[in-house]
């Protein structure tokens, strides 16, 4: 039997995921989400949470089957913003899947990094409406706590009794990947042995819809919602708003094996960079995205040709899709032609700050199950979009998937890439 190596090429602790949790428009829980991906189902519909008739954009990817009272009592659920509810749901699923027993852990060595791009936006919307319509004394006294971006991380730590490193990352649409990457760094530097890491977002509100559609980055395909999110397609016209949460239980390999946990995948690299270019448009040549991907490869100590798959940021905006494609070519050279690239936002929409959390879970499942998720609505690849985007149907990998990147790029020029690989001793 081969000896198990506990450290990486640079002498740092190896980090593995032992539990996954996800809630997205595809469904509640890991299995519901995987089945949704495999069916190639678009979640884009006319908005149900409020009447969008006055809006230029009237579609979104909403979660319709989420009941917070399935895991919280009614009073507690009312005291939490929807973003916090989604975060807790994923934390409970991931912790149970990991078999993590806090009674057997040193709580000072268990931490949480849970990011969000916007925070408790439903709470902010409701509170501001109450202020305008009913006056300052009718604003819910819990509003201040409910709307804070860091409250999901705090709530998870309180539920678990986790006393270790605890903070919130906010970097727009790169948030989820940054949160997971920063938790990885916490573990690698020895500040904890277990970290819950990911992101949550629940921003489908009138104010957010009005604000983001004014950027010109959202699809207006109101007459055909299921076809609206179409990354890398010639006829793409913007992203479709979504909501959700994705979280991983990360541990040092030594700690996971000591408690008898099964490593699912290894988180082996993390890269981040800035475009320093524009508030919303990426660098056209993809160089910022490329630097994040290359950093993830370098930290993992892997060559480009060790990667089989990329879960693309793939928003369905003209500029992002072309820039990301160019960035992949920069990093992978001739190997880019052998990569598979999936844009799962074509199905679940753009979950904003939560995108990187949910897509990291999807990338882990891709490694575990050996099937590449499809990019739906890809009828005619756009000019310059020349990679293998796994169009329309999922694809069985011809061999075990060795390693994959999950990309996230955010307004403000934030770029983040996670490198996950199959766990081997």
Active-site residues, by number, are 173, 313, 350
- Secondary structure in 3-state letters for the chain: CCCCCCECCCCCECEEEEEEEEEECCEECHHHHHHHHHCCCCCEEECCCCCCCCCCCCEEECCCCCCHHHCCCHHHHHCCCHHHHHHHHHHHHHHHHHCCCHHHCCHHHEEEEEECCCCCHHHHHHHHHHHHHHCHHHCCCCHHHHCCCCHHHHHHHHHHCCCCCEECCCECECHHHHHHHHHHHHHHCCCCCEEEEEEEECCCCHHHHHHHHCCCCECCCCCCHHHCCCCCECCCCCECEECEEEEEEEEEHHHHHHCCCCCCEEEEEEEEEECCCCCCCCCCCCHHHHHHHHHHHHHHCCCHHHCCEEECCCCCCHHHHHHHHHHHHHHHHHHHHHCEEECCHHHHCECHHHHHHHHHHHHHHHHHHCEECCECCCCCECCCCCCECCECCCEECCCCCCEEEEEEEECCCEEEEEEEEECCC
d(CA 150, CA 136): 24
List the end-to-end C-alpha distance of the chain, in Å, as a whole number: 10
The answer for 177, left when phi > 0, alpha when psi is -120 to 50, beta otherwise, is: alpha
């Amino acid at each position: 039997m081969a000896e198990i190596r506990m450290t990486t090429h640079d002498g740092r602790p190896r980090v593995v995921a032992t539990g996954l949790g996800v809630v997205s428009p595809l469904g509640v829980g890991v299995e519901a989400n995987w089945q949704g991906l495999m069916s190639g189902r678009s979640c884009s519909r006319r908005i149900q949470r409020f009447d969008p008739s006055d809006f230029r954009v009237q579609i979104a990817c909403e979660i319709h089957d989420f009941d917070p009272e399935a895991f919280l009592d009614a009073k507690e659920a009312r005291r939490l913003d929807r973003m916090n509810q989604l975060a807790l749901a994923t934390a409970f699923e991931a912790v149970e899947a990991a078999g993590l027993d806090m009674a057997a852990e040193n709580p000072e060595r268990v931490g949480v990094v849970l990011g969000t791009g916007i925070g408790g936006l439903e709470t902010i919307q409701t509170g501001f409406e109450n202020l305008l319509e009913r006056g300052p004394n009718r604003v819910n006294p819990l509003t201040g706590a409910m709307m804070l971006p860091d409250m999901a991380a705090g709530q998870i730590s309180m539920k678990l009794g986790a006393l270790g490193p605890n903070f919130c990352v906010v970097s727009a649409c790169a948030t989820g990947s940054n949160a997971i990457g920063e938790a990885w760094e916490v573990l690698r530097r020895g500040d904890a042995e277990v970290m819950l890491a990911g992101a949550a977002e629940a921003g489908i509100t009138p104010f957010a819809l009005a604000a983001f559609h004014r950027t010109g980055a959202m699809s207006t395909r109101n007459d055909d919602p299921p076809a609206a999110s179409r990354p890398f397609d010639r006829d793409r016209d913007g992203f479709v708003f979504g909501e959700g949460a994705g979280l991983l239980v990360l541990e040092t390999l030594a700690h996971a094996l000591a408690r008898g946990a099964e490593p699912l995948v290894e988180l082996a690299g993390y890269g981040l960079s800035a475009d320093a270019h524009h508030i919303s448009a990426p660098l056209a040549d993809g160089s910022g995205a490329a630097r994040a991907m290359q950093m993830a490869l370098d930290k993992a100590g892997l060559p480009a040709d060790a990667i089989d798959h990329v879960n693309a940021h793939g928003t369905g905006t003209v500029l992002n899709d072309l820039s990301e494609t160019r960035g992949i070519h920069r990093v992978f050279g001739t190997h880019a032609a052998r990569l598979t690239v999936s844009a799962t936002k074509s199905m679940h929409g753009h979950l904003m700050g939560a995108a990187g959390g949910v897509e990291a879970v999807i990338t882990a499942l891709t490694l575990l199950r050996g099937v590449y998720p499809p990019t739906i609505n890809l009828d005619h690849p756009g000019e310059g979009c020349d990679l293998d985007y796994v169009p329309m149907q999922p694809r069985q990998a011809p061999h075990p998937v060795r390693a994959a990147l999950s990309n996230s790029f955010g307004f403000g020029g934030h770029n983040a890439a996670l490198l996950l690989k199959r766990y081997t001793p």
